[in-house]
Amino acid sequence: MEHKNGLEDFYIVKNNKKMRYGYTTGSCAAAAAKGAARMLLSQEQVEEADLMTPKGILLHLLLMDIRWNKEKAECCVQKYAGDDPDATDGMHIYATVEKRREPGVVIDGGIGVGRITRKGLEQPVGAAAINRVPRRMIAREVEQVIEEENYEGGLKVTIWTPEGEKIGKRTFNPRLGIQGGISILGTSGIVEPMSEAALIKSIEIEMHMRVENGGRYLLVTPGNYGAAYLKEHMELDFSQNIKCSNYVGETIDMAIGMEAKGILFISHIGKFIKVAAGIMNTHSRSADGRAEIMAANAVRAGASLEMAKELLQTGTTDEALGILQREGLVEKTMEEVLERVEYYLNHRAYGQLETGAILFSNTYGYLGNTSRVPDLLDKLREQQNIT
């Protein structure tokens, strides 16, 4: 008989497809801790733990690899990410619970749970990478068991995972200064598939770490193309870049909120051509208009009506650049594009942040930059101690 975890009726519809919810590593840790605490204090085997998540969804999580005696108990819960592309999906999140003489619940991380090595993250340097909400969930569940079992001592809970060190290397953790494993995460206890809020939160976490460690001028690339261009063509420290995905506007907003002083975007033209029309979420699902924006700026630069019509038929910005190059209008058109990119970046920043952008194409290379880029480059070099 298939185990029912409580999420069978929870899904969202994206792009006309049902996508199933999952549950976080924090929920796994809390349920495993609850089950292990129950077995330790009752000396009876428990095979399932009920967990009310902060989102208000009640989970029924199967406990696996159960071991217990009079002094210690441990078990694990297998992570389930639903239809979210999550590196931790399928991992076994363990809790080992041991008795202590002193009252209260102490929570720490073991094998496969990362350690904080840089300030600016949610937990202090040296602490296990178990975030605030999962810590509260673990403490609440274990304290409930202590009360129900009339136990007068304390318990130590160690969260660990044998796959954590390997999988942690595939996450953002090494960039954030979290070494040795994964983070135990989650604010709602539930994984919403393909969640934009979760992705924006990950950008915010990395930015906060950079600012707290002295990075008041931020180096940002929307994706892998920008990161590769930065690594290959610029003398700045590649490891300091933040990937903002499609969230240009949110990235600027967060930088202002953290009182950063400046932000330099290094972007493929295919992303930032949209910014030239004030589009601050560059995902094609939100807005496209690349050909239209390129054609409009080419007309401003002197393109004929026939050429504008040809540009409107293009499928990629590189194809459009090929037409502009044929007519000798790349430089003038990029000047028009960059003038508008600068206007909209500054407009979003409301004068509270120095902004700039460098645009390039994989085929045609460097295309130009906005006016404040030389100043931002100097400040980034100074910040990175590059002479």
Q: Determine contact, residues 224/245, Cβ cutoff 8 Å.
A: no
pTM, full prediction: 0.71
Of 166, 168, 188, 191, the C-alpha closest to 178 is: 168
> What is the pLDDT at residue 106?
97
Which structural domains are found in the chain, ordered by start? 11-191 (3.30.2110.10), 196-383 (no CATH)
Model pLDDT for residues 11-54, shown as the tens digit of each residue: 556 666 777 888 999 999 999 999 999 999 999 999 999 999 99
> What is the pLDDT at residue 1?
42
Q: β-strands 22-23, 17-20: how paired?
A: unpaired
Instruction: Work out the number of other CB atoms within 10 angstroms of the CB of residue 62.
Output: 17
Which residues of the chain fall below pLDDT 70? 1-4, 6-16, 194-195, 387
User: What does the alpha-carbon distance between residue 252 and residue 350 come to, in Å, rounded to a whole number?
Assistant: 10
Residues 6+ apart with CB under 8 A from 92: 64, 65, 76, 77, 78, 79, 161, 162, 163
> What is the pLDDT at residue 4?
66
Model pLDDT for residues 207-242, shown as the tens digit of each residue: 999 999 999 999 999 877 777 787 788 888 877 889
Structure tokens at 367: 């295309």
